[in-house]
Amino acid sequence: MLFERSGVEPGSTVLVQGAGGGVATALILLGRAGGYRMWVTSRSEAKREQALELGADQAFATGSRLPERVDVVMETVGQATWSHSVRSLRPGGRIVISGATSGAAPPAELSHIFFRQLAVVGSTMGSRDQLGRLMAFCEQTGVRPKIDRVLPLSQAADGFAAMISGDVFGKIVLTG
C-alpha cells in the first residue's frame, strides 16, 4: 500500500485517515522508517497524541483544513473521510484505498478527481515477494506492529466490539 501502490518516494507527504486502526498505525511506523512525512487524522485527541508518539509528523482533527495539500492519502475509513481525502490532495495526487469501515458508497467527487487529475488506487494484499521485502525492511529498521491487545480466540467478540466502538490503537491479536 505504502511502498508500491502509493507511487511516491521518501520525502513525500502522506496523509493517513483514521490514525488508530491497525493498518493506520502500521502505515505511520513504516512511513516514518521509510523517510516519508507522515500526517494523520483522528476524531480523538488521545489518538492524535498517540500517533505523534508513534512517529507521525503532524496530527489533525478529522476533516480539518491541512496546512498544505498532500502527495498521497491512505484511505481505510471510506465514506466518512472520502471528501476530505479528495480535497486534501495536490493536483496529480493519489488516494490508495484498502478499506471502507464507515461505508463503501461515498459521493464520487468526480469533478475534483478529473479537474485535478487525481488517481484512485485499490490495495489489498501484496505478493509473496513483497512480503519478503517488507519483512527484511522491518528486520533492518526494527519496525514492529503496534499491538493494542492480545486476546484468546474465545474472547474474539470483545476484540470485534472494541474495533466497532473505535476503542483501539493498533492491532488486536487473537491467540489459539
What is the domain partition of the chain in residue ranges?
Answer: 13-145, 146-176
Sign of the CA dihedral running 123, 127, 130, 132: positive
What is each CA distance from 143 to 25, 146, 173, in whole angstroms?
Answer: 11, 9, 17
Share of the chain above pLDDT 90, in %: 88
**88 and 109 in contact (C-beta within 8 Å)?**
no
Cα first-last separation, the chain: 29
13-145 CATH fold? Rossmann fold (3.40.50)
Our CA angle for 107, 111, 117, nearest 5°, is 115
Q: How confident is the model at residue 138 (pLDDT cuts 50, 70, 90)?
A: very high
Q: How confident is the model at residue 101 (pLDDT cuts 50, 70, 90)?
A: confident
Mean pLDDT over residues 126-137, rounded? Answer: 95
Find, among 117, 143, 160, the residue nearest to 3 by Cα. Answer: 143
Mean pLDDT of the chain: 95
Q: Which residues make beta-bridge pairs with 73?
A: 15, 95
Mean pLDDT over residues 91-118, rounded? Answer: 93
